[in-house]
Homo-oligomer: A and B are copies of this chain.
Amino acid sequence: MFENKERTAISDLGEFGLIKHLTTNFKIQHETSVKGVGDDAAVLNFKDQVLISTDLLLEGIHFDLAYVPLMHLGYKAVQVNLSDIYAMNGIATQITVSIGISSKFPLEAVEEIYKGIELACNKFNIDLIGGDTSSSKQGLVISVTSIGHAAAEDICYRNGAEEGDLLCVSGDLGGAYVGLQILEREKLIFLENPQLQPDLEGKDYIIERQLKPEGRRDIVDLLAQMKIKPTAMIDVSDGLASEILHICTQSEKGCTLYEEKIPIDPMTYETARELGLDPTVCALNGGEDYELLFTIKQSDYAKLKNDVDISIIGHITEKSAGCNMISKSNVSHEIKAQGWNAFKG
């Protein structure tokens, strides 16, 4: 990827030099960031309660450098993590980023990752306040911890759904998974015939859903404007089925989901069909959409019923009714989590 560009050995800079080099562009913006990179620990100052979430991304498990550009990887690593803060109905303000990278990678490769991190930080107004860089003897490793805050009364847990609450989801689902299938297909074609260029024409939206997901801070803002506090909320990282079950299990409730209400973009739908996949299954089990799934009181229905970016896909029932999806042909199926499992395959 860097054959024709300048190559600088990372080891020439050393660990401290590298961190300094990579983080000089990052400016501390938040009042809550008392001290960022450069001491033993970062120092933060919140009046609200503090939200903390962390994710570990490993090459070959969570991403494939054959088709993920490094800048996108940096961007996505941040977004995926911020999404967890938004899923608490919180305001994300800081991240730490630790990277393990082969010493064979040139400095320019790490810079690409940090460009993506910087883009995400600038777009979502996030301070980079710490981290760690190290050589890795194996693949590329990225660990992000995100920090945010919210007033205690605004925080949405997974366990607050009540019988009769409406089940809502932002955006559309299944696109990231179908996008991944296209990237995997083109990778196999490329490996068999390196002369062929990847055929991604007309697939921009779903490729972007996979490579460049966006945490839904806008939905958190929108809910605040509408004066709606969800009774429960989670982000869709492992697939709709898995996330619905998390809310129902933790709330000790059941639910009814309507297949016809699940929002699926036409490009996702058509491409899934082309690939011989059921679009609903892609939405239920595909994962990585990073939309927000939440429950609201029925009395809040009028406030968001006309919002085109939020779909009402079902409702919460008593626990004994179980978790079921009513199919388009009006048959009830039990919802099972078959989401992505990092220990299989």
Contacts and interface: CB of A to CB of B under 8 A. Distances in A.
Interface of A: 10-11, 13-15, 18, 34-35, 38-46, 49-56, 58-62, 83-85, 87-88, 90, 94, 96, 98-100, 103, 129-139, 141, 143, 145-148, 152, 155, 157-159, 233-235, 250, 341-344
B35 A157 contact: yes
A288 to B, nearest CB: 14
B134 A58 contact: yes
A46 B46 contact: yes
Copies of this chain? 2
Contacts of A132: 54-56
A250 B20 CA distance: 13
Contacts of A341: 11, 14-15
Nearest to A46: B50
A56 B90 contact: no
Contacts of A61: 100, 134-137
Nearest to A100: B58
Contacts of A34: 49, 152
Contacts of A10: 343
Contacts of A59: 137-138
A299 B15 CA distance: 36
A88 B43 contact: yes
Interface centre among A43, A55, A62 (most CB of B within 10 A): A43
Given A134-B62, A139-B137, A42 B51 contact: yes
Contacts of A98: 54-56, 143
Nearest to A85: B41
A145 B145 contact: yes
A246 to B, nearest CB: 8
Contacts of A39: 88, 157-159, 250
26 contacts: A11-B341, A13-B343, A14-B343, A14-B344, A15-B341, A34-B49, A34-B152, A40-B83, A40-B85, A40-B87, A41-B148, A42-B53, A43-B50, A43-B88, A44-B49, A45-B49, A50-B50, A52-B129, A52-B147, A55-B132, A56-B98, A56-B100, A58-B100, A61-B100, A138-B138, A138-B139
Contacts of A250: 38-39
Contact of A58 (B41, B62, B136, B234): B136
Contacts of A134: 56, 58, 61-62, 342-343
Contact of A41 (B15, B90, B94): B90
B52 A44 contact: yes
Nearest to A243: B40
Nearest to A235: B40
Contact of A50 (B44, B58, B133, B138): B44
A155 B43 contact: yes
A52 B145 contact: yes
A209 to B, nearest CB: 20
A57 B35 CA distance: 24
